[in-house]
Amino acid sequence: MKLVKLTMSAAAAMVFIGASSVSATPTWIGLCKTATLLNCAKANLVKHPLLGRLIPLVGPGKFNAGFVTIECEGGTGNSNQIEAQQNKEFTGTIESLTFASCKGCTAVAVVTPQAVLLKMNSEAGEWRLQANNAKVKFTGCPLGQFCTYEAVLDLEVQMNATDALVEPKGFEFKRVTAESTALCSEKGKWETGTTLFDWELDDAGFPNGTRHKGVTPSLIGAILIKTF
């Protein structure tokens, strides 16, 4: 699958938005139902200010802990209730994230709640997904071992024709020595596990709200805040 980086300089973004908005400063991040980097069309913006939840969907993935590689078929979770459009930075809290059908180590527990942040890096012109204290615990490992790793996540958000996605690309985690046994490597690597994002409106109560599949972030001007 060919990926297109969500990149554009801050200067170019302001010129683009300034041409179609009363403000030349792109101060809002909205969730778009189509893969649109800038100025998502009003009809495609997720309803606002109705509250909803981000639903991370993690594909088949691997984590290398040195003496063992943990493989899971996938994972899913949900965030707290948040607004679909936010000023300058998109913030929320992952309340749950569970993985299924794991081998190598049979149980994978992501420590939640976990605050996350989505923003555009104006210097590099790319979207970043960040978390200050991501922590994961592996149990049911060979030889009675168990491992805990933590990291300050800083991952690039990419985009294909339909979705925003995050790929770990071997992102390194540091072993939490007090919560790990001797065979766990000092550094663990999240090797694979592409993550997509759905959005579920809280219009019928979670988890039965309206589901928008494959939402992407879009930089928008203040004139486009309302979508109804």
Give domain status of residue 189, yes or no.
Answer: yes
Return the percentage of the chain with pLDDT > 70, whole number. 84
Prior bond to 49 cis, omega within 30?
yes
Give domain status of residue 197, yes or no.
Answer: yes
H or E segment and range at residue 18: helix 10-18
Lowest model confidence (mean pLDDT) among 4-8, 123-127, 152-156: 4-8
Give domain status of residue 25, yes or no.
Answer: no
Burial of 58 (0-12, 13-18, 19+ CB in 10 A): buried
On whether the CB atoms of residues 24 and 18 are closer than 8 A, the answer is yes
Give domain status of residue 75, yes or no.
Answer: yes
Tokens of 56: 């991370």
On whether the CB atoms of residues 35 and 161 are closer than 8 A, the answer is yes
Number of domains in the chain: 1
Give domain status of residue 28, yes or no.
Answer: no
Q: Given pLDDT bands bounded at 50, 70 and 90, which one contains residue 18?
A: very low
Give domain status of residue 9, yes or no.
Answer: no
Amino acid at 121: N
Give domain status of residue 199, yes or no.
Answer: yes
Give the Cα separation of 95 and 111 in Å (integer): 9
For all residues of the chain together, what is the average pLDDT? 86
The whole-number average pLDDT for the span 191-217 is: 93
| Cβ-based neighbours of 205, under 8 Å, separated by 6 or more | none
Range of the domain at 209: 51-213
Task: Please state whether the predicted TM-score (pTM) of the whole model is above 0.75.
Answer: yes
Q: How far is CA 13 from CA 16, 21, 200, in A?
A: 5, 12, 28
Exposure class string for 10-41: b at 16+ Cβ within 10 A, else e? beebbebbeeebeeeebebbbbbbebbbbbbe
Give the Cα separation of 60 and 112 in Å (integer): 21
Give domain status of residue 135, yes or no.
Answer: yes
